[in-house]
Chains A and B, each alone.
Chain A
Amino acid sequence: MRRILIIAIPIVAFLAVAPNRLNGYYLNLLYITVLYVGLAYGWNIISGYAGYFSFGQIAFFGIGAYATGLIVVNLQWHWILAALAGGLIACALSVPMGYVMLRLRGPFFAMGMFGLAQTSRVVITAIPATGGGSGLFLPPGSDLRSIYYWTLAVTLGAIALTMWIDRSAFGLRLQALREDEQVAGTLGIDVTLEKIYAFALSALIPGLLGGGYIWFLTYIEPDAAFSPRLDLQSVVMAILGGVGTVWGPLVGGVLMTQIAEALWARFPQIYLMIFGGLLVALLIVLPRGIVPALTSRIRRSV
């Protein structure tokens, strides 16, 4: 714990003062990095710890985004309060959704969640108040610095939450049901309930992040709020870092956003090709992700 603090305090201090030092481009990059890391942490709870691979947590990002936008436009709340409410709304909606979806397993759950995200997008677009496909313009309400701080706070919260889960009885229950749901049940674990808790936490985090993202765009439209790209990239980052580990989403998220950015800057036409190839190569060399590969190497050398 002390070692973690020694590393974490300077990093957090740097992240806290960064907006004063960095110009627009770098602050932008920092924001995107922190956003992706946060999304990867959100996904890691239900998919990493509980083992339910989801390709649709972006549903809650979108719901949080739209809820925040609608609250600000219609009720004139301060955007931070609205974003908080947006996250809570996404979390609340995830409970009945999870109750239904978590009956599916494996690839069926993964595809079902992808479908749920698309369905959420369609439903939200159909509501007249959201402006449909053309989206919703937001009144001026925030700047990049505040959005960055909001996102940083949520992401740090997600990391702290994951650190707690990793050591808690709740985390042990999730890992047990991930390994074998039936056995976990006969060992006294209410698997339905624990899965819904995990799912709700995995909805709260993107929900809160979505409420900040809309100010980054200054408007909301369905394709941005329910972006499959944000979803898939954050999933890939968590996988690359190490599924179901405390530090995997951080390592994978930071590394991949930086590599993607550097490649994009140098090889704008073919960066996706290089990036994809790199990803495939990394996952062949490190199938379980970077963090598990490092920790098992350290353990072996001790």
Chain B
Amino acid sequence: MSEPILSVTNVRVAFGGVQALAGVSLEIREGEILSLIGPNGAGKTTLFNVISGVLRPQHGDVRFLGRSIIGRPPHEIARLGIGRTYQIVRPFGSLSVVDNVAVGGLIHARSIAAARAAAREIVEFVGLGPFADRIAATLTLTQRKRLEVARALALRPRLLLLDEVMAGLTPSEMDTMADFVVRLGERGIGTVCGIEHVMRLVMRISHRIVVLDAGRCIAEGDPKAIQSDPRVIEAYLGAPLIETI
């Protein structure tokens, strides 16, 4: 529970004059569910883009399993064992659900048949079994969210980055998704870092929480400590931290 699987050190990203990340440092430990919270524009998704290799930071280092992954292309980082989902769902619209998932499995499978067989099992696991052979473009938002996760699972990542998988779901669907995230350990995916806004669920499932605001880490700790942290309350402009959705 204590070894860092990923460490981010002093990462800075600027888009023109906007400092999206102004020196972020954090660690993700083996076996934990870490939630990344913070107001809109805090730099959460930017940090995911840096970790997954989509974006190269101007400064700082990201080490995964002891090796620096800065400057490596996204496919290498994926093969090293970091899977991610996208906040705005991005299914391969013209492919079937199974093929969407099989894409992620190609790095492990010897043949496309093997990748599809493994994909079918994952599709079943995320509850999309009845839709396995549907074209992904025909799925509803909830189903697409599940497909996002299923694709990342097919990589069999050591570390899974979930970018707002709850957004847009109904409260009961959110609970199902939260249980699902907790159950990921069954599939050998013990380390999860999730960006989430739904505090009720963040507080319920997280082992640890990191709060980002304006490109900086402003607080870090277990759910209890975070809820009573004055800096966090201030970052949310005094709004009640626990949303009632």
* Residue in B75, B93, B106 whose beta carbon sits within 8 Å of that of A185 in the complex: B75
* Residue in A167, A168, A185, A187 whose beta carbon sits within 8 Å of that of B73 in the complex: A185
- Closest residue of chain A to B80 (Cβ to Cβ) is A188
Known contacts A173-B106, A179-B94, A190-B75; A185/B54 CB under 8 A? yes
- Closest residue of chain B to A189 (Cβ to Cβ) is B75
- Contact residues on B (Cβ < 8 Å of other chain), bracket: 20 to 34
Nearest chain B CB to A287 CB, angstrom units: 14
Nearest chain A CB to B50 CB, angstrom units: 12
**Is A293 interfacial (CB 8 A cutoff)?**
no
**A interface secondary structure, majority:** helix
- Closest residue of chain A to B89 (Cβ to Cβ) is A183
B95 pairs with A179, CB closer than 8 A: yes
Q: Chain B residues near A168: list those with CB within 8 A.
A: 112
User: How many residues on the A side are at the interface (Cβ–Cβ under 8 A)?
Assistant: 20
B90 pairs with A183, CB closer than 8 A: yes
Report A183-208 residues with CB < 8 Å from chain B CB.
Answer: 183-192
Q: Chain A residues near B95: list those with CB within 8 A.
A: 172, 175-176, 179
**Is B107 interfacial (CB 8 A cutoff)?**
yes
- Closest residue of chain B to A168 (Cβ to Cβ) is B112
- Closest residue of chain B to A190 (Cβ to Cβ) is B75
B74 pairs with A182, CB closer than 8 A: yes
**Is A180 interfacial (CB 8 A cutoff)?**
yes
B103 pairs with A172, CB closer than 8 A: yes
* Residue in B73, B77, B92, B102 whose beta carbon sits within 8 Å of that of A183 in the complex: B92
A188 pairs with B92, CB closer than 8 A: no
Known contacts A167-B112, A188-B75, A189-B75; A182/B93 CB under 8 A? no
* Residue in A173, A175, A186, A190 whose beta carbon sits within 8 Å of that of B54 in the complex: A186
**Is B155 interfacial (CB 8 A cutoff)?**
yes
- Closest residue of chain B to A175 (Cβ to Cβ) is B95
**Is A123 interfacial (CB 8 A cutoff)?**
no
B74 pairs with A186, CB closer than 8 A: yes
A176 pairs with B75, CB closer than 8 A: no
B-side interface residues toward A, CB under 8 Å? 52-54, 73-75, 77-79, 83-84, 86, 90-95, 99, 102-104, 106-107, 109, 111-112, 115, 151-152, 154-155
A-side interface residues toward B, CB under 8 Å? 167-169, 172-173, 175-176, 179-180, 182-192
10 pairs of A and B residues whose beta carbons are closest in the complex: A185-B74, A179-B92, A188-B78, A188-B107, A187-B104, A169-B112, A176-B103, A190-B75, A186-B74, A183-B90
